[in-house]
Amino acid sequence: MFAQQLVNGLMLGGAYALVAIGYTLVFGVLNLLHLAHGEVFMVGASSWRSPAFHLWSSWPARCSRPPRSVCSSSA
């Protein structure tokens, strides 16, 4: 459990570091604090959500069909 929490913390810290590096680069070049990173994240999340929703919404229907019975009579 400790190892999993350590990995989770490193992953979240990496995401925070990427956002912080983005802010640092923009502020260092423009000398202006530009807060549009949230908009970019929302566009990425929205573009991922639509295909994922369409792919995964039909997944239970495809996998929940009962298998064809070998012993069924087809008269």
Distance CA 52, CA 75 (A): 42
Quick one: which of 18, 23, 43 has its CA closest to 35? 23
Residue 74: per-residue pLDDT = 54
Position 49 scores a pLDDT of: 75
| pLDDT exceeds cutoff 90 at 35 | no
Distance, in Å, from the CA atom of 75 to the CA atom of 66, rounded to the nearest integer, reads 20
Q: Record the pTM.
A: 0.45
Mean pLDDT of 10-18: 93
Q: Residue 47 is encoded by which pair of tokens?
A: 């573009």
d(CA 38, CA 28) in angstroms, rounded, equals 19
Question: What totals of helices (H) and strands (E) does the chain contain, helices first?
Answer: 3, 0
